[in-house]
Amino acid sequence: MLKWVATAVVLLVLALVFRLGMLVYAGYALLAIVLVSRYLSRVWSENMLAKRECNRLTAEVGDQVSILVRIENRGQLPVAWMLVEDLLPTAALLHEPPNLRVSGQRIKLAMFRAGATKSLLYQIICNRRGYYQLGPAILETGDLFGLHRRYRVGAEPQYLLVYPEVIPLEGYDISSRRPIGEVRMTYRLFEDPTRIAGVRQYVAGDPLNRVHWRATARTGQLQSKVYEPSTVAGATLLLDFHRSSHVAQHEPFRSELAITAAASIANAIYTMQQQVGLIANGRDAADRIRAEGWKGDWRTRDSARSAAEATDPNDRLAPVVVPTRRGPEQFRSILETLARLELGDGLSLPYLIGEVEGRLPRDATVVVILPAVTAENAIALGNLRRQGFAVTAIINIHEVYEYAQAAGPLIAQGIETRHLADRDSVRGICRRLHIAG
């Protein structure tokens, strides 16, 4: 803008100095064009209003969502051109099939008469679970000479929550109300004193018959016996969603398979009216949006698109936790959390276990879903078992020989393992799990 005004002023000064009448008129004309163009582009931009309507903001995998964006010229002047685009996250459109398959028109270039209204109508088919930002709707206009461009937000974003797929599980009688694995109850009434599972540090209030004298003599500190479980009471799902644990070439399939398995197990346990919880080291997309927000003032369309993305790394150390409980809202809370969960860069699995160990109920099986088994992972899970927790590991690896290699260190720690090879294996993932009698 300033360079055009400066050019017009220089032309006028030269014309007046050298008394060039035609050049004077040219300078006045250029200055008038610059000012009128700036005024029109500003008025056109300010008088445009957009509103988005969605027929739903929660959906299941396979559902279709219809989106209508209405654009209205509220001014008294016609708008020569207006480019409207309702932004969607690029990451949701990349894969084949894409997370969101779009059909219809979400970009439109049109002229608007005074008071005119036009619409964008498009549909989204939800192929994968997730928490997706719809919008903002960006309005771009400018003068006919291309001297000025204006960008503004016509409609703020809305957020679509797509629930993960839930697959009915096989392998145990739901009517028996027996969830996965046998677990230790908090009360000693349910412990089997003939079956010692391990030792732990003495806690004030432990009776003398629980003291493990040999371990006490060896360590120099009082140690108490940990007995084998004798009853069942649900499960806490521990999901390894750290980005470094997932091989990029297998994404998003392996991480989505883990989500499907977790949702399916949670559904089975909830159906049996047992307690169920979820702990993960990923990031919650809703928390990310609350913390980072979205920007509404952009100078270019490229910056607008960048602001609509969700690709920034997140190394926050707080885990995602849904406490292990019973109740009608528990499964819905887990399902919503799994729908929003994204790969994170914060706590690795051993650090996650150390962070949440004190919040794990001892009367629920710890079901760990992980894509890789390192020595650190095996030791952390082994320590969890030696502290009296019932631990089952579900290894999210495709090849059988890779599963065998990964399961070895866990079996050495006394941890039962299961193979999550593909979607078809989800249904029978609990078929051979040991059920308390």
Whether pLDDT at 26 is above 70: no
Q: What percent of the chain clears pLDDT 70, i.e. is strictly above it?
A: 79
The DSSP secondary structure of 151-184, one letter per residue, reads EEEEE--EEEEEPPP-----SS-GGGT--SS-B-
Of these ranges, 25-29, 33-37, 211-215, the one predicted with the greatest mean pLDDT is 211-215
State mean pLDDT over 230-242. 82
Question: Which pair of structure tokens corresponds to residue 161?
Answer: 């929550």
Closest to 169 (Cα-Cα) out of 253, 261, 61, 275: 261
Side-chain-side CA neighbours of 237 within 13 Å: the count stands at: 31
Whether pLDDT at 185 is above 90: no
pLDDT digits (tens, 9 = 90+) for 128-163: 999 999 989 999 998 877 777 888 888 889 999 999
Backbone Cα Rg of the chain: 31
Question: Which pair of structure tokens corresponds to residue 330?
Answer: 């528990």
Compute the distance between CA of residue 333 and CA of residue 287 in angstroms, rounded to an integer: 15
Exposed / middle / buried, residue 310 (Cβ in 10 Å: 0-12, 13-18, 19+): buried
pLDDT digits (tens, 9 = 90+) for 273-294: 889 999 999 999 988 777 666 5
Whether pLDDT at 324 is above 50: yes
Instruction: Identify the weakest region by mean pLDDT among 55-59, 186-190, 258-262.
Output: 186-190
pTM: 0.77
Question: What strands, in cross-sheet order, belong to the sheet with 48-54?
Answer: 48-54, 64-73, 117-126, 100-104
Side-chain-side CA neighbours of 227 within 13 Å: the count stands at: 18
Compute the distance between CA of residue 331 and CA of residue 328 in angstroms, rounded to an integer: 7
Backbone angles phi, psi at 222, to 5 degrees: -60, 130
Give pLDDT, residue 219.
Answer: 87
State mean pLDDT over 320-340. 93
Closest to 232 (Cα-Cα) out of 197, 200, 269, 267: 269
State mean pLDDT over 357-382. 92
Whether pLDDT at 57 is above 80: yes
pLDDT digits (tens, 9 = 90+) for 65-74: 999 999 999 9
